[in-house]
Each structure stands twice: as C-alpha cells, then as structure tokens.
Amino acid sequence: MKITSHAKIHVRISYYLKWLLLLKLVVLFIVCFSSGLLAHESAAQETVSLRYSHVKLKSLLLSIEEQTEVSFIYNDNLIQGINVKDIDARDVHWKDLLLPILDREGLIAEYVGKQRIVLRAKHKSQKLTAFGIIRDRNNEPLPNVSVAQVGTDRATLSDAEGKFSLEVENENAILQFTYIGYLTQEIAYQQSSMNIVLQEDQAQLDEVVVVGYGTQKRETITGSVVAIKGGELIKSPALNVSNAIAGRVPGVVATNGSAEPGYDGSTIKIRGTNTLGDSGPLIVIDGIPARQGGFERLNPADIDNISVLKDASAAIYGARAANGVILVTTKRGSSGKPKLSYSFNQGYSQPTVIPKLTDAVQYAELRNELEIFKLPVDEWSNASHGFNTNGFYERANGNRVEAPFSPDERELFRNGSDPWGYPNTDWYGATLKNWAPQTRHNLQIDGGSENMRYLMSLGFQNQDGYYKKSATGYKQYDFRINLDADINPYIKTQFGVLGRQENRNFPTKGASTIFRMLMRGNPTMPAYWPNGLPGPDIEHGENPVVITTDQTGYDRDKRYYVQTNGQVDITNPWIAGLQLSLTASIDKYGKKQKTWSIPWYLYTWQGAYEEDGVTPKLERGRRGPADPNLTQSDEDQTNILLGAVLSYDKSIGDHTINLLAGMNRETIRNDNFSAFRRYFISQNIDYLFAGGELEKDNDGGAWERARLNYFGRIGYNYKSKYIAEFLWRYDGSYMFPENRRYGFFPGAMVGYLLSEEDFWKDNIPFINYMKLRASYGQMGNDNIYYDDALQEYQYFSTYAFGTYIIGGDLVKSLYESRVPNNFITWEVANNYNLGLDMQFFDGKMNAEFDVFKNSRNSILWRRNASIPQSTGMTLPAENLGKVDNAGWEFNVGWQDQIGKLGYRVSVNGGYSRNKIVFWDEAPGAPDWQRSTGAAINAGLYYLYDGVFRDQADIDANTIDYSDITGNLRPGDMKYVDYDNDGKITPNDRVRRDRNTDPRFQGGINLGLTYGDFDLSVLFQGATGGELRVGTDESGAIGNYLLDFYENRWTVDNPSDEHPRITDRSDQYYSYNNTYWLRSTNYLRLKNVEFGYNLPAKLLERARISNLRVYVSGFNLLTWSKIKVLDPEATNELGQYYPQARLINAGVMVSF
C-alpha cells in the first residue's frame, strides 16, 4: 500500500508531539512538585512545637534553631540567668513565641542576614572597643589574624603576641576572625577581654573525593586522584565544559582543535597518549559510564565536582578504563528553605589567530616570481628586471614572456583607484565579523526538608559563528531534576533526570571547505563587487562570503537526550555499616539531521559595460547543485544499565575495614535510517514528499552492544596511618569471542602517613602532613579503533552487502568482508604509580608529586605493513601492539591572608613521553627510520641544512641530489646526508622524536580576594609538540602566508636560510623536511575573572541573599613561536575553524 505525502507529514508531526507532550509532563511535574514542597517547607521552617515547664533562654534558642532555619548570635553574658516558664506551643510561628519573651527581658532581635539574628540589649553604648588575644589549640598566640566587624569596613590585625583591639559600632557587633589554615569564626562582641581559640582547618584533608563506586576522604586516598570543584569550572566563560579543564589539574592534557559552534570541545587525554588507537578516557556521569553525549555539553552550573582517576584507582572500572576515568558528579539539593539563583552571561568571540596572508600587491609579486623560475637560471636576473620595469621579458630567441602582473597593474592594486578591475581583497575580513555573540542563561532552585531534598535547573545557550550573515550556530536547551528522599532510617533514594536538546545549524559547506577557500583566496579577485553583489568563486562555485550563509541551503542537526538514573540505598538495624545499593539508568538519544542543498548565484565581469558605457555589466551565474536535493536521517538509541553494589564498613578500635562488591549490566540498541531525493518541484518546499521519483535513495541499519561486569574493593587502614586497598573487575565484552570474552583486571594501592608518626611530629613540625603512595593496576581496553571507526566483531568474517548483475538485473549480493580472528581478546594496560602528598605551615602550602609508567600490551591493531597489499586480504585486528608511556606530574600551592587581602597561587604540570615497543612495521627500514622505539605518530623527514644561495654554492656542493631532483638551482634546500653515502636518497629521512601532541602541559592559578572583590587568573601552557606548516595550496591556485613572503629567497635578495617559493609544492623541498616544522610551545592567559559581590546590607531590603557581577576572558593572550596559526592547531594548512578568544560579562543573583 502506498503511503501518501500527507501520511508522511503526519508521522513527522506525531513524533514531535511526543517530545512536546514529554516536555509538558516534565514542566507539570516541576510545577506541582515545587508548589507542594515549597508550601510544606514554608510552614515547616517557620513554625515550632515546644513544651517546657522550666527552661533556660539559651536552651529555648537552641530548640528554635533545630526546628527552623534561623540561627541566633549572642553574648553568653547577655542571656545568662534568664529562665522561661510554662511553654506549650504547637505549630506556632517562632517570632510569636520568642519576641514577647525577649521584650520582657529587655532584649531585642535584629536580623544581620537572611537567617541570622543578633540578640542585644535595648540600651546602646556610645563608644565600644573589642579587645583580646587570639591563640591556637596549643595555646600559642597567632599573629596577623584578620579581625573584622561583619557588615562594615572596620578591620584590624592581631599583633605578634596575638593581641587585637578594634572599635565597633555598637554592642551587637559581630566579629569575624580569619586566618589561613584555620576555620573562620564569627563571635559576638563582648565588653570584657575576648579569648579566641581558632581551630585548624582540616577541610582539605577531610574533603570527600568521589572515587569509583564511592567516596573517600582525601587523607586516606592511596591512588593518584585529582578533583576539580564545579565552582572553578563556572569561572570560565567557555560554553563547552571540556574547554574549562585545561591547566587546572596535573596530568590532564586538553587540546582544543576547533571552536566551531557545536564541535568546539577539547580532546582530553589523561597522562598523554597510551595506545595506538583511541586514548580517550572513560567518562562516568553520576555513576553511569559512557553516556551518550559525554560531559562536554553538561550545564557547568549543574556540576558539583569532577574527579580524575589516573592510576590503579581506575582499575575498578576495568574495561574502557585503561586510559583513565573522569567522574562527573552533579549537584544535589540541600535541606533548608528554597534557594533560587539565576545567572546570565553575554560573551563575544573571535579567532585567536587569523593567518596573515599576502595582499594583492605582494601576491602579484610572487606570481611574477613563479613565472621567472620557469626560465633557465641564467635568465632569472634579466627576467626579474624586465618584469619590474616593462612588465615583460624579451628572451634571446625573440620570444616575449609576459609578466602575470605588470608594474602598472601592481600600482593599481596598491592605490585602490580601480576596485572593479584591480581589487585588493582581504578574504578573512570580507567573510568574518569582528565579534561573534554568545549567550548563556541558567535558573536553579534547590532546597528541601530533612527527608526530602531537590535541585532543579533550566539552562539555555546560544552561540553564533564567526561569519557575517552566519548560517552557523549552536543552541542548547537543558533541564535537570535531582531528588533525594529518605524513606525511613534504612531506605534512602536518589533520582535524577536530564533533558537536553542540541541544535546545530550549518551551511551546506563544512568549515574545512570554507577555511580552505579563505586560505586560498586570491587577493586580486573580489569577494564582493563594488555594487555589493558577490564576486566569482575560488573553486567549484565556492565563494566564502556566500557559502557561509543560508544561500546554499542548510544543514540542521538536532539531538535529543533524556538521561535518567535512580538509586536505592538499603541499610538495616542489625548489621551496622552494611549497605545494598541498587542502581538503574535508562538513557534515550535521538538525532535528526536534514541537509537541504540548493543552487546559489555568483557574479562575474567579462569586461562588458551597461548601456551607459561606464558601469561594468555583471553576468549572473548559477553554482552548486543542478537542482535542489534533500538528505534526511534519523537515529534512535537506548542505553540501559542495571547495577547492584553491596558494601560493608567497619571500625574496630584503630582498624577500619571497607568491603565492596557489585555488578553492572549494560545494553545499547541503536536504529538509524536515511533517505535522499532530488528533482524537487520547488526549492521552497524542503520535504521528501515533494522530491522526484528518479534517483531517490534510502539506507538504514541497527546495532546492539552489551557488557556484563563484576567488581569489588577491599580497603584497610590503621589509624589512617597505614592504608591498603585492593580493587578488581571481571569484565565481559561483546567485542570478543565467547571463550575470550571475559578479562580479570586487578589493582593494588598502599599509603603511609609519615606525618602521623611521633618522630615526625617531634622533629619536622612545619610539615604537618606527609603521605607516601604507591599503586599498581591492570586495566583493559576493548576499543578496536582505526580508520576513524570502532571495529566490531573482528572474530567474525562478517558479510557485507554489494550488488551484482544477474540476467540483466541488478541484484543484492553478499561478500565476505574480512578474514576473521578467533583469538582476539583484551588489550591490557599495566599502570605503575608512586606519589607523595604534603602540607606545610598548617596548611598554607601543599604539594603533590607523582611518577608513573603505563605499559600497554596486546594492543588491538592490524598487521597492515609486513603483509603486502597484493594479497588482497582485509585483515582483522590482532593483539600485537606494545606501547610504553612514562612521565611525572606535580602540583604546588600556597595560600595566605594579609589583612583583608587573601591570596592563593598554585602551579601544576604533567610530562609524559610514549614510545612504540612493538607493532607491525615493514621490514628493511634503517634503524633511524623505524617507528618502533619512536613516539606514536612521529613523522619521517629530511633534515634541513640551509639553502643554496647561488650557483657558486651549488658548484661547491659534493653531495649527489639526483635521486630527488634532476636539477639543483639557487634557492633550493640543502639536506643532511644522514647515512653518509654521498647522496641524498629516501634513506636520509629520519624519524622524529615528537608529534603534534605536547609532552608537557601545565597551568598557573592565581586568586585574590579583597573585601567584596575577587580576581582569578589562569595561565596555561604546553611544550614538546610540533606542527608542519605547508604551502601545499599556495601559488597560482591560491594565496601565500605573509611569513613565506617575508622570508624567501629572491633574485635580488638571495638567502642561505629561506628557500624559493613554490607553486603548489612543486619542488622536492616542498613537503617532508624539518624546515617546515614549527614548535607549538605556548603560554596562554587562559582565563581571567574579576568579580564584585554587592554588600549584604544593600541587598537585604530586596530580599536578595547575593548579587555578583563580573567580567571574564578566555584565551586573551598567547605567547608562542608559531605565529601563522594557533599553537593548538592540528591542521597544517590552516583549513579549519580556528580557536576562540572570548570576552564576557555576567551577573549572578540568589534569593
């Protein structure tokens, strides 16, 4: 039965109605849930139920604090001896109960914050001075402690003996005592001498860090684990979370290769490149591994923290953990009154580097030189003189060689007097706008009761492309609901749901094509004619000022994510410390892509004029496809995870034991479909039903994946001094045959806190914390990744579909696609780590150092070099590769306070170097060319050794170049005869010891606070990488980099350092030699944020708890030797969407 076009439209609408209905239900749920819960909270947090026959006022205040969210600040002497009789109150507002009592006793209550109340006497003193002494817990005086009256600018410092004196406004003043390494305290003013004892801040050691399937105190962590707080991430104005990580933690290498909206994420590697295939880490979000979409597009305001597992600590994730694990934990609600916060950011971006190309005059000069270099060398000088004086050269045989551009034409380019005939086009300037806007909004509410807590957020992002009249852009809509409910003392639940829609809009031509045209753009051709019409194409109808807009059609990519996870934690009253956690996750992913390609029009001038004889007559020409065509695709995916974890924690005296065992089952199902039509009746109807019946096509497919995992952990510590931990995981993967499907991956870690030993405390007191760590872990990898695709089912020959003509008819056929490998199994990583953690001077200084080695064996790779291609075999992957990667990393920080000025500084860095121990390599290559023993992806190059300055230099040469060129000429490059055989041959190429990846990456973090002002600065840098910068598409085909114009050999200015220019790399020295390699070492001013928090006094009347305004910047300055491209570029020809510099202003307000 034929389905009509109306039915097709009905199917599309019904699909979107489902999404609309789902969104309505979610909104309805939020409204109903919020209304009921907020109403409940409003009553629960303002009323009290008390019954006393005789009670002290202090006890009454404590009871009110327990039942409400208010807190009282008072001087003990003020309420000492005040008793209250006969209280019997049920659901009474606390004010109605307390205020009459205070009035009778001559006291008043005064708010100093949203929920903080100061009690004071009704009478006032005229001049009051707070004084006293400040000590630590050992009764030692503390100098330079900041003492300030809350809500005012009155402040002082304690002296060398810990004494202080500060005049306060009135007797209900609150004093705040602040000192680095100690907990901040707020104490009410006292008329008598105040004896203040500050407690050491153990927060850094007591900080809870998320690890695999649980949390641990930092003090007892034995693995190499680093954490980033969500508050650090939101300081970056970058919309993509992955771009906010670089430089913040050691060992995490983040390289941003493009800033194209929707595809602007950084490539993340932990401790560099560890394998021949995919080196990306496993991403785990709220306990669920490998969620579709990763963590790049998470709302930064929703992230509580990110933990990075770099060594054996990742072994509990076994499969896919060989490259490390990144654990992302989102925020949860907290008990208390609802807190509403809103943030808004408005930013503007532009490329960090716009390649400097030659202008029309310079390009014309280079084009003339190319014509000269076609002549014999002995005619170059005369030809150059002729071109520069007359515009031609008369050869001895009488033939005239015309210069591509005469002196008069070059002058017209220079003076701009004839823009029709002699334009001087800046293609980047014509195509890109100065600043591209981007916007981010976020609304968040959290709160709850003791037994029910919630967090809900809504987010929106809008990012524009660099182009004028841009068809490129990215929009994101997201919401999150996280709920926590304590059903009873033994059952606790968590529930989370994320919804996100990502809209990516592009022109029909990709960024690589657009920037290829910009790099090639001939400056003697117009982007626009003087009348505003677009000029001719550079190639294949491609004029950048047109193909960046919607004049060519559109490419729309919409992705939908609904991610859910739930957890039930069950304990019991009989066995303390025993807990069963049941986890379930159902994720839905949908993708809809629609590419509508239509013809577009450009204008050329053939020299004719309009009837007035003055106005050039432009010819309108059709470009692009012959007729409109539409490609439409649909993808649907469901991920399901079911898991259970049983844990037991027990302390017996000074001994603590932690046991954990669990299992996960993961399944993924993906279905996809695509269709194509052309010959549309109108380019105004962009739906499949309107296409023609000829040459239509469709395609589709499906795949399934499954994993089954068992894992566990055994932990022991004695007095938190001697710590040991054993982890394991037993993984099963669909990637391998049944008899090799499972792998066991163990890990062991030990720690020793030297600082807890008496000899340490007695002799080295300034180092108050010292821990040694060591670990070994074995992890697996089942990602067989090459040819830019995941290679599945290598143990099957598998069949592919083809076509064959039988009896004159084209029929479907099957053919065996490859040779199977029945012995394929897990790639194995053996990780070794030795670490040291320290704190000095009561926490003012901290330091961490690690050395590591990752030995990878049984790497899944093809034997594609030693076996000739003439066999005709498509070979499967084998467990044949071996790679070693070793390095070190560090993090050193200092924080202190001088009066009202607080500051912190930290420096971190990580170095890694890999080498191929074994893989399949063609036999017979000399040792210096073998990739075995070299870095992964290290190139093979001739060693540049200068330039032949003139013919005399060539005549003096004793090395034979005949294998690579038949004719040496001035301006040609010299190479090193590496094998000393007297001639330059391919055997003189040498394998490099580096590639495009940096070996070292680090950062410097600075922070300052002064009163209500704060400043954070991040410098980030990298060293050890290199990039070839080529001239592959320069010459008659396209423009040159200005750097090559300014540094070249010429007839009038011969050089022994820089070569002659080439025409589309037509010389032997155009490609694979070290002259073209550029160091990508750099230092960036990665992130700056300057903020101001408005004083609480100004906000109280508006019932605003916090209002913050700030300005920030991203990639503001870069120092690098490579000037022509951004140092993070990986495209050697500059044909990519460049990295972004960003300025931003924002506001955050909380109620």
Q: At what angle do helices 94-104 and 57-67 cross, to 10 degrees?
A: 160
Distance CA 304, CA 329 (A): 6
Q: For residue 1006, what are its two tokens?
A: 């600075």
Question: What Cα–Cα distance (Å) separates residue 381 from each residue in 320, 388, 398, 968?
Answer: 64, 11, 17, 17
| Residue 958 within a domain | no
Task: Please check whether residues 87 and 36 belong to one and the same domain.
Answer: no
Contact assessment for residue 264 and residue 243, using Cβ atoms and an 8 Å cutoff? yes
Alpha-carbon distance values, 747 to 716, 775, 829 (Å): 14, 7, 11
DSSP per residue, 665-719: EEEEEEEEEEEEEE--S-TT--SGGGS-STT-EEEEEEEEEEEEEEEEEEEEEET
Beta-bridged to residue 467, according to DSSP, are 432
In-domain check, residue 73: yes
**By mean pLDDT, which of 490-499, 703-712, 781-790, 990-999 is the weakest?**
781-790
Output the pLDDT for position 824. 86
pLDDT average, residue stretch 538-557: 95
Q: Is residue 596 over pLDDT 90?
A: yes
pLDDT beyond 70 at 29: no
The strand pair at 473-488 and 174-178 is best described as unpaired
pLDDT for res 123: 61
Alpha carbon distance 199, 137 (integer Å): 6
Residue 719: pLDDT above 80?
A: yes
Task: Collapse the DSSP code of 15 into the 3-class scheme (helix H, G, I; strand E, B; otherwise coil) and give the result.
Answer: helix
Nearest one of 291, 333, 328, 712 to 485, comparing CA atoms: 333
Number of Cβ within a 10 Å radius of residue 267: 15
Tell me the percentage of the chain whose pLDDT exceeds 70. Answer: 93
Write out the two tokens for 670: 């993906």
* Same-domain pairing of 109 and 147: no
Give bridge partners of residue 218 from the DSSP assignment: none
The DSSP H or E segment spanning 402 is strand 400-402
Q: Which residues pair with 947 in a beta bridge?
A: 973
State the sign of the Cα–Cα–Cα–Cα dihedral 315, 319, 321, 323: positive
Residue 807 counted as domain residue: no
Cα torsion angle, 51, 55, 57, 61, sign: negative
Work out the average pLDDT over 372-383: 95
Residue with tokens 């980030």, as numbered in its chain? 1020
Residue with tokens 């932690």: 658
Q: What's the pLDDT score for residue 88?
A: 80
| Section 1015-1033 average pLDDT | 93
Q: What percent of the chain has pLDDT over 90?
A: 56
Judged against a pLDDT cut of 70, whether residue 38 lies above it is answered with no
**Do 387 and 370 sit in the same domain of this protein?**
yes
Q: What contacts 45, CB < 8 A, 6 or more positions away?
A: 68, 69, 336, 337
Region of residue 808 (left: phi > 0; alpha: psi -120 to 50; beta: else): left
Q: Which token pair is 1148? A: 């955050």
More confident residue, 1053 or 215: 1053
Q: Where is average pLDDT lowest: 376-390, 455-469, 862-876?
A: 862-876
Q: Is the pLDDT of residue 126 over 70?
A: no
pLDDT band at 751 (very low <50, low <70, confident <90, very high): very high
What is the torsional sign of CA 313, 317, 318, 320? negative
Distance CA 1021, CA 1082 (A): 5
Domain stops at, among 201, 226, 255: 201
| Cα distance between residue 444 and residue 1150, in whole Å | 9
Look at 303 and 818; give whichever has higher pLDDT. 303
Reduce the DSSP state of residue 515 to 3 states and report it: helix
Name the residue type at position 564: T
Q: Which two tokens stand for residue 729?
A: 């995981």
CATH number of the domain enclosing 57? 3.55.50.30
DSSP conformational letter for 1065: S
Number of domains the chain is built from = 4
Tell me if 241 sits within 8 A of 289, measured CB to CB.
no
- C-alpha distances (whole Å) from 630 to each of 12, 581, 598, 673 are 16, 50, 9, 14
Which pLDDT does position 387 carry in this prediction? Answer: 96
- Report how far residue 535's alpha carbon sits from residue 540's, in angstroms, rounded to the nearest whole number: 13
In whole angstroms, give the CA distance from residue 270 to residue 324.
Answer: 6
- Closest CA relative to residue 827, chosen from 886, 746, 747, 743: 743
Same domain, 81 and 64: yes
Q: Among 75-79, 696-700, 945-949, which range has the highest average pLDDT?
A: 945-949
Residue 188 lies in a domain: yes
Report CA Rg, the chain: 35
Q: Nearest-CA neighbor of 363 among 964, 849, 828, 1045?
A: 1045
Counting every residue written for the chain, the total comes to 1151
Nearest by Cα to 326 from 268, 394, 260, 265? 268
346 located within any domain: no
- Whether residue 274 lies inside any domain: the answer is no
Please report, as a single letter, which amino acid is at residue 1100. Answer: E
Q: In this model, does residue 522 exceed pLDDT 50?
A: yes
* pLDDT at residue number 831: 93
Eight-state DSSP code of residue 258? -
pLDDT above 80 (res 785): no
- Measuring CA to CA, how many Å separate 1057 from each of 78, 218, 965, 970? 86, 56, 20, 12
Question: How far is it, in rounded angstroms, from Cα 969 to Cα 975?
Answer: 14
The gap from C-alpha 1007 to its chain's centroid, in whole angstroms, comes to 22
**Mean per-residue pLDDT over the chain, rounded:** 88
Q: In what order do the strands lie in the sheet with 146-149?
A: 155-157, 146-149, 174-178, 185-188
Does residue 116 share a domain with residue 57? Answer: yes
Among 154, 178, 201, identify where a domain stops.
Answer: 201
- Asked if residues 855 and 884 have their Cβ atoms less than 8 Å apart, the reply is yes
Full residue range of the structural domain in which residue 62 is found: 47-121
Helix (H, G, I), strand (E, B) or coil at 61: helix
Region 308-330: what's the mean pLDDT?
86
Per-residue model confidence (pLDDT) at position 202? 59
Label residue 271 left, alpha or beta by phi (over 0 means left) and psi (-120 to 50 means alpha): left
Q: pLDDT tens across 851-879, in order?
A: 999 999 998 888 877 777 667 666 778 88
Q: What is the pLDDT, as a whole number, of residue 208?
A: 63
Taking residues 28-53, report their average pLDDT: 53
Alpha-carbon distance 786 to 798, whole Å? 18
Q: What is the CATH number of the domain that holds 151?
A: 2.60.40.1120
**How many whole angstroms separate alpha carbon 509 and alpha carbon 493?**
49
106 and 74 in a common domain: yes
- pLDDT digit string, tens, across residues 925-972: 899 999 999 999 999 999 999 999 999 999 999 999 999 998 999 999
pLDDT, mean of residues 80-99: 83
Buried b (16+ CB within 10 A) or exposed e, 914-952: bbbeebbeeeebeeebebeebbbebbbbbebebbbbeee
- The helices-and-strands tally (H runs, E runs) of the chain is 16, 57
In this structure, are 37 and 57 located in the same domain?
A: no
* Per-residue confidence (pLDDT) for residue 1, from 0 to 100: 32
Across the range 93-115, mean pLDDT stands at 80
The dihedral region occupied by 1035, where left means phi > 0, alpha psi between -120 and 50, and beta the remainder, is left
Task: Read off the pLDDT band of 113 (50, 70, 90).
Answer: low
Q: Do 364 and 407 sit in the same domain of this protein?
A: yes
Residue 737 pLDDT exceeds 50: yes
* Distance (Å) of CA 700 to CA 295, 670, 672, 802: 28, 11, 5, 15
Neighbours of 847 (CB within 10 A): 19
Q: Is the pLDDT at 16 greater than 60, yes or no?
A: no
Contact 1099, 1105 (CB under 8 A): yes
Q: Has this prediction a pTM greater than 0.85? A: no
Nearest Cα residue to 909 out of 770, 1026, 772, 1019: 1019
Q: How confident is the model over 702-718, as pLDDT tens digits?
A: 999 998 999 999 999 99
Q: Residue 350 corresponds to which tokens in the numbers above?
A: 């532009």
Which residues in 668-693 are b (16+ Cβ under 10 Å) and which e?
bebeeeebbbbebeeeeebbbebbee
pLDDT of 242 over the 60 cut? yes
Residue 67 lies in a domain: yes
Query: How far is the CA of 8 from the CAs of 3, 13, 512, 631, 690, in angstroms?
Result: 7, 9, 35, 15, 11
Segment 871-894 shows an average pLDDT of 87
Tell me how crowded residue 516 is: count the other CB atoms within 10 A of its CB: 23
Residue 71 belongs to some domain of the structure: yes
Q: Which of 99, 121, 143 corresponds to the end of one domain? A: 121
Q: Give the pLDDT score at 118.
A: 83
d(CA 318, CA 777): 9
**Is the four-CA dihedral 363, 365, 368, 372 of positive or negative sign?**
negative
